Structure 1
Amino acid sequence: MSLKDQFDAAVVASKQLPERPDNMTLLKMYALFKQGSAGDVEGSRPGFTDMVGRAKWDAWNELKGNTQEEAQQSYIDLIESLK
Structure 2
Amino acid sequence: MSADAKFNTAVEDVRKLKSKPSDNDLLELYALFKQATVGDNTTTRPGMLDLKGKAKWDAWTKQKGVSADTAKEQYVAKVSSLIDTIGLQ
Q: Into which bin does the TM-score normalised by the smaller protein fall?
A: over 0.9
**1:62 equivalent in alignment to 2:42:** no
Aligned residues: 83
Matches of 2:4 and 2:31, distance apart in 1: 17
Cα distance in 1 for residues equivalent to 2:42 and 2:18: 33
Give the drift of 1:19: 1.6
Unpaired stretches in structure 2, ≥5 consecutive residues:
84-89
TM-score of the superposed pair, with normalisation by structure 1: 0.97
Q: Distance in 1 between matches of 2:49 and 2:35?
A: 24
Stretches (4+) displaced over 4 A: none
Q: Percent of aligned positions with the same letter in both sequences?
A: 41
SS in 2 for 1:42: coil
Question: 2-side partners of 1:10 and 1:70: how far apart?
Answer: 14
Counterpart residue type for residue 38 of structure 1? V
Aligned pairs for 1:1-83 within 5 A: 1-83=1-83
How big is the alpha-carbon RMSD for the aligned residues of Structure 1 and Structure 2?
0.6
